Structure 1
Amino acid sequence: MKNRVIYADILRVFATFAVMIIHVSATNFEELKPSSYEWNILNFYDSLARWCVPVFVMLSGMFFLNPNKPVSMKKLYTKSIFRVLLALFFWGFIYELYKRILEHGPFDGNFFKETFVSILQGETHYHLWFLYMILGLYIVTPIFRIFIKAARKKDIEYFLVIGFLFSSLLPTLERFYPFKYMVPFLINFDVNLVLGYAVYFIMGYYLSEYGFNEKVKKGIYILGILGVLITIIGNSFLSIEKGSPDNFLFYYLRVNVFVTTIALFLFIKDFFKNRDLNKISLSTISIISKYSFGMYLVHDMVRTLLMNAGFYNLSFNPIFSVPILAVSIFIISFFATSFIRKIPYLGERIT
């Protein structure tokens, strides 16, 4: 317990629950009219939780890029990358099997071959996309570690500014007038080094290592709140204008999500970094954090089982059904993960 970073554990627990909020909210989301009461409630909850995946990436960067924590190439591949690959193939097969059982689909000698090929091609259960993305970041981690070790603070800030510009700001502005006429010119620069989730990966280390004065933090918190409001109101506006759900502002690299993620990370870090929690709270948080990877992997099976039992986000008023269902999935996923981890050799490696 002494070596735990409590605010990181808390962020991981919150992010795990937020993923479940998103997936509960997403059920029926595309079928409802954006003007309906139910759609707007689901949009509200979904918008509140969009920071979850970026936080997962930032936490990985926070630990993997720490120069004081040795990460050899051998350890990276034989432990971290191997674990994610094993989980990807195991759960890819499990979810495909589960889907065919539910849909009474064909199960013949080609099942394993077809599933294996689909996993190789990235065509597996939707929430497993995260594993492909994090594998890519793990593979380039040795290069990032060299950069971080040699970089000054302003060098890292330069990377983050360029990353934010090309991965978040420009792709967001491209949707809107008059930027849609100007932004393609800049996007065509194709600055691949900083594109994608690498900016969150590096940002996680930066925010864990460096602080801000109170004035800057207040500004970031205000931007974070504005980011949430823009997601909620902007997504509703774009969807009503389109006449059907428009998820443009939901994407994890949009500016609105980006600033919300940064603000939440900083707030939780500052609030819990030097706060003393009792032993029971610390133990509970650390265990859930430890199980979070397995809970993420198993939770969508729990969600669909509950749906088949007639318990889903529109079973009753979604103001109540979404959080109640998400809490139920969270608890069941925790115990399911706890059970799976007891399987000799395999359990801890696939969760």
Structure 2
Amino acid sequence: MLNMEVNNNVANQSDKIRFEYITLLRVIGTFAVIGIHVVCTPVTLYGTIYSTIDLRLSVFITNLLRMFAVPLFIMISGALFLNPEKDFDLSKFLKKNVVRILTVLIIFSFIFCLLESYFNERIISISVIKIVLRNLIEGKSWAHMWFLYMLPGLYFSVPLLRPFVKNATDKEFNFTLLILFIFLSFIPTLEKKFNIKTGITIPITSIYFLYFLLGSAISHRNLFDSLKTCVTLILLPSLFILIELFIPNTIIIEDAVLKNTNASSIAAISLSIGIFSLIRNFYRNQCSVVIKFISENSFGIYLLHTIPLNICFKVLKFSPEKINLYILLLICYLFSFYFSITVTVLLRKIPIVKKYL
């Protein structure tokens, strides 16, 4: 009996360590998302006054972070929800995850749409409320909220995908990943490059469907478990971005992005796989208390981190003309992080709110 209890404790401890990588990846994704908006916001507002080196550095950082930040969150969801070893209760899943996301989406999108209207009009009226409600329905909230608009649809695919994930052979699973990569990334890249439209298509349009399955495959089928492969997958797209910076007409200043580095690009898929696989296969330690604390509050941080940035740039009128650019970025980053995590912690002390954050 004692041996059985010891074995169970060892197994439980092993499971905890096994999934510590999820905690670390969630924190990496959180810091990356904050970094994207901290760096790209002043470029969008004041990019025309940036020096060449400041602009290129800002675009490099924005695009590097943009290529893996949200994909990491999608892959984490795939690792958790498409785990063939775990039992699945559809009713519990819908109540705990889909209802939660929809509730948060409606409440926070309304608040953010209302704030944006107030920042622009400086008044709150019936006509403004009508515009706010329309924007909420159409998904015209603050930029980072697109992720929450996409999540319910992704979650609805879980009951469809789980039987495949559980029963598919490695060969079948890898073939599916390859087909999705070809039709959702490789072919679209060629179409953009050569300005041609192929006739053969696949009735799946979202690249995040591929990331969702990749999270499951890397976590539970040990794909990309070579250190050399992981490092290569990270370095090559990073080098690609550096080269893109110096190719004429690739920088879109209004959004601080490069034309060929969105989530469906080959470079983004490579970088996301590299980072996820590296942490998944080679991180064997328990996360520190600080990392776990940030991870537990990461959803709230994601929701709230743009509020202080809007305060900085729309209320306090921060600009690189008034403050050194790099000091400005540091101030905004720290303000965004500490504000969002503090408010999240305070909100989570309210029992009904804690269920959703």
Normalised TM-score (structure 2): 0.85
C-alpha distance 312-288 of structure 1, shift in aligned 2 (>3 A) = farther
| Contact map agreement 2:183 2:202 (CA 8 A) in 1 | yes
Counterparts of 1:92-103 in structure 2, within 5 Å, are 92-103=109-120
Task: Decide which of 163, 179, 190 is 2:180's aligned counterpart.
Answer: 163
Partner residue in 2 for 1:153: 170
Residue 58 of structure 1 and its aligned partner are, at CA, apart by 0.2
User: TM (normalized to structure 1)?
Assistant: 0.87
Q: Closer, same or farther in 2 for the Cα pair 1:123/1:102, shift >3 Å?
A: closer
Relative to structure 1, is the Cα distance of residues 159 and 314 closer, same or farther in structure 2, using a 3 angstrom cutoff? farther
Kindly indicate whether residue 59 of structure 2 is the aligned counterpart of residue 43 of structure 1: yes
Give the aligned partner of residue 346 of structure 2.
Answer: 339
154, 162, 177: which one aligns with 1:137: 154
* 1:313-342, Cα deviation, whole Å (9 max, x unpaired): 676444554355323312221111111212
Alignment partners' CA distance in 1, 2:301 and 2:321: 23
Structural mapping, 1:115-264, within 5 Å: 115-176=132-193, 179-181=194-196, 184-185=197-198, 188-193=199-204, 195-211=206-222, 216-239=226-249, 247-264=258-275
1:91 matches 2:108:
yes
| Unaligned residue ranges in structure 1 (runs of 5+) | none
Distance 2:99 2:195 in 1: 42
The alpha-carbon deviation at position 301 of structure 1 amounts to 0.6
Asked whether the equivalents of residues 224 and 263 of structure 1 are also in contact (C-alpha less than 8 Å), the reply is yes
The 5 A counterparts of 1:260-339 are 260-272=271-283, 274-276=284-286, 281=288, 283-307=289-313, 308-311=315-318, 316-319=323-326, 321-339=328-346
Separation in 2 of the partners of 1:90 and 1:243?
A: 32
What residue is the counterpart of 2:47 in the other structure? 32
Offset at residue 195 of structure 1 (A): 4.1
CA separation of 1:142 and 1:310: change in aligned 2, threshold 3 A: same
Q: Is the 8 A contact 1:159 1:194 kept in 2?
A: no
Per-residue Cα deviation, 1:293-324 (whole angstroms, up to 9, x for no partner): 11101001121113333546676444554355
Which amino acid counterpart does residue 232 of structure 1 have in structure 2?
L
- Count of aligned pairs between the two proteins: 338
User: In structure 2, what is the Cα distance between the partners aligned to 1:243 and 1:343?
Assistant: 42
Output the CA distance in 2 between the equivalents of 1:243 and 1:19: 19
